[in-house]
């Protein structure tokens, strides 16, 4: 006797088991797609932050190229100067003051653009070292290191770093 053909069916629940198995397979696939989407968003955000760091590096390099006298004098080395109002007037300011103003404006831009953004421009013989807050600049040599740090995974610490070097002519 076959299920479902006689007047009194003796088989029951087979369709229900098939539906439950299908539902289990489908939900596993949906969870996999959600995980893939999450990883994709994290990778996209990391790429965005790295692109921002690259653009910020190009910004300070352009500022340095337009103030060659200050670069050659070492005025961009680990500068922590105050804002110079005369740099925004027609009278202008000195090359050293412009270097301090450039680094001040650029550092503020880094802090505004990247999460927990921190930065330094310094003369450094070993540029691939240091962490946020402890930039480890040797203040020697003729190569400027541009170091940018940020919180890439939103953990509360600046764990990502982008370092570029530039040597004046």
- pLDDT tens, residue by residue, 80-124: 667 777 788 888 888 888 998 999 999 999 999 999 999 999 988
Cβ neighbours around 158 below 10 Å, total: 19
111 belongs to a structural domain:
yes
Listing DSSP states for 120-154 in one string gives: EEEE-SS-S--BTTB------SS-EEEEEEE-SSS
Query: What pLDDT, on the 0 to 100 scale, is given for residue 136?
Result: 76
- pTM comes to 0.77
27 belongs to a structural domain:
no
80 belongs to a structural domain:
yes
6 belongs to a structural domain:
no
88 belongs to a structural domain:
yes
Give me the residues of the chain with pLDDT under 70, please: 1-13, 80-81, 131-133, 169
Query: What pLDDT, on the 0 to 100 scale, is given for residue 142?
Result: 82
Please, are residues 40 and 32 in contact by the beta-carbon 8 Å criterion? no
Query: What pLDDT, on the 0 to 100 scale, is given for residue 147?
Result: 92
What distance in Å separates the CA atoms of residue 161 and residue 28, rounded to the nearest whole number?
37
Count of the separate structural domains present in the chain: 1
Query: What pLDDT, on the 0 to 100 scale, is given for residue 12?
Result: 61
Query: What pLDDT, on the 0 to 100 scale, is given for residue 3?
Result: 58
What distance in Å separates the CA atoms of residue 85 and residue 101, rounded to the nearest whole number?
9
30 belongs to a structural domain:
no
Query: What pLDDT, on the 0 to 100 scale, is given for residue 13?
Result: 63
Phi/psi of residue 126, nearest 5 degrees: -130, 85
Q: How far apart are the first and last CA of the chain?
A: 95
58 belongs to a structural domain:
yes
Domain residue limits at 88: 52-166
144 belongs to a structural domain:
yes
């Amino acid at each position: 006797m076959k299920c479902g053909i006689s007047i009194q069916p003796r088989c029951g629940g087979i369709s229900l088991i098939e539906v439950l198995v299908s539902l289990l397979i489908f939900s596993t696939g949906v969870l996999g797609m959600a995980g893939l989407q999450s990883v994709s968003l994290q990778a996209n955000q990391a790429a965005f932050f790295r692109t921002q760091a690259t653009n910020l590096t190009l910004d300070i390099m352009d500022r340095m190229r337009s103030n060659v006298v200050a670069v050659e004098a070492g005025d961009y080395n680990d500068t922590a100067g105050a804002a110079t109002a005369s740099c925004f007037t027609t009278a202008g300011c000195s090359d050293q003051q412009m270097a301090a103003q450039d680094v001040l404006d650029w550092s503020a831009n880094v802090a505004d653009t990247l999460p927990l953004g921190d930065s330094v421009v310094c003369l450094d013989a070993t540029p691939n070292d240091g962490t946020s807050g402890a930039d480890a600049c040797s203040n020697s040599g003729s190569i400027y290191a541009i170091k940018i740090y940020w919180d890439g995974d939103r953990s509360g610490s600046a764990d990502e770093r982008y370092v570029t070097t530039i040597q004046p002519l």
